[in-house]
Amino acid sequence: MLSVFSSPTRYTQGRDATRSLGAEMATLGLQGPVLLIAGRSARRLLEKTWRESLGDSGFEHSIFDFGGECTHAEIERAKVVAQDARVQAIVGAGGGKLLDTARAVAADLKLPVVNCPTVASSDAPCSALSVIYTEEGVVDEYRIYARNPDLVLVDTSVVAQAPARFLVAGMGDALATLLEARTCFDGRVKNMRGGGSTHSALALAQLCYRTLIADGAEAKRAVEAHAVTPAMERIVEANTLLSGLGFESSGLAAAHSIHNGLTAMAETHSFLHGEKVAFGALTQLVLEGKPQAEIEELLTFSCEVGLPVTLAEVGLEDCSTEAVETIARRTIEPGETIHNEPFEVTVPMVADAIRSADRTGRAWLKG
Ligand SMILES: [Zn+2]
């Protein structure tokens, strides 16, 4: 099997980065007119800056207000607007589901795409895939594209304005990256790009994990004060770039499948992707039978920054045996990345790992 490493063409991050959006796009030779798929708070914060930055670089643009979910219907709605305006590029500015939608629209129309995450809540912005949800909010499918985004531009002054919960959720998503990457690397399974992992991708996943442990708590405090600091910049980079490259070019395993399993329960829908992935990461360590010291490091970190370590913390108080089995069944559906684990997974095995992780988390919280 050939090894494959895949990444965005350009990654730009920093304070007031939005002011450079037009110039960054021009550097890459992108052309207008542009359709800007925008979230509500992104539009409120950035509409004036977009007008100036895109205008100064000669990009005409129109704005499409995002409906809130990345569904097939929402993607079609945006495509119609993009085609009517004959746009030459798609820019997404908002949260993870919005960026998933922007990538899907661009891929279908064979247009370049620029992702401007306004929160650092997941590792999706750099990737060449979208997670499509049903109208009911359940994970429907992963769509994988030929190309990563042309440009990912992260304005850390915008990220600092969002509630700290989003940055913390991004750390939950990033926390799983190394655990899943090394399982895929060791098992020599195919990564998300259809090739084997590289040492580079694994090294990025390791740096991602080390950065979380070193800077996570301080970065959370910075964002609580709506401040941009070096630690906060490093965590934004870990959540967005390191985690994105690490998961895509090494691969996913149990943690993300357990996330998908959790979405089978409506009670978990108000929790963020990374919050559910954090519980999935803990469950993966239990499932893989990793040493206690590793589990304790994860528990210490999760509790320090406020990531879930129990089912109750993802909305599932008093979770029945049947409910855990429902989650486990969804977790091991065909095509799920849990099948990258180096052993055959079964419903009882996953259900036991979930129950045991929950018990471990509850005992840890009690101290
Ligand atoms: Zn994720």
CA of 108 to the centre of ligand 1 (A): 23
pLDDT score for 268: 95
CA of 101 to the centre of ligand 1 (A): 16
pLDDT in tens, 190-244: 999 999 999 999 999 999 999 999 999 999 999 999 999 999 999 999 999 999 9
Contact at 8 Å (CB) between 118 and 141?
no
Element (H, E) at 153: strand 151-155
Contact at 8 Å (CB) between 13 and 232?
no
CA distance 61 to 69: 23
CA distance 174 to 159: 16
CA distance 141 to 123: 17
Average pLDDT value for residue range 132-157 = 91
**Mean pLDDT for the chain overall:** 96
CA of 248 to the centre of ligand 1 (A): 10
Cβ < 5 A residues, ion ligand 1: 173
Place of tokens 């950035």: 46
CA of 56 to the centre of ligand 1 (A): 35
**What whole-number percentage of the chain has pLDDT above 90?**
95
pLDDT score for 142: 86
pLDDT score for 116: 98
311 exposure class (CB count in 10 Å sphere: 0-12, 13-18, 19+): buried
Supply the pTM of this predicted model.
Answer: 0.95
Active-site residue numbers? 173, 256, 259, 273
pLDDT score for 187: 95
CA of 191 to the centre of ligand 1 (A): 14
Give the closest residue to 336 by CA, choosing from 100, 271, 327, 348.
327
CA distance 362 to 234: 30
pLDDT in tens, 254-313: 999 999 999 999 999 999 999 999 999 999 999 999 999 999 999 999 999 999 999 999
CA of 133 to the centre of ligand 1 (A): 14
pLDDT score for 141: 87
Average pLDDT value for residue range 23-50 = 96
DSSP-assigned letters across all residues of 2-45: -B-----SEEEEETTGGGGHHHHHHHTT--S-EEEEE-HHHHHH
Give the closest residue to 345 by CA, choosing from 197, 154, 167, 354.
354
pLDDT for residue 137 is more than 80: no
CA of 332 to the centre of ligand 1 (A): 17
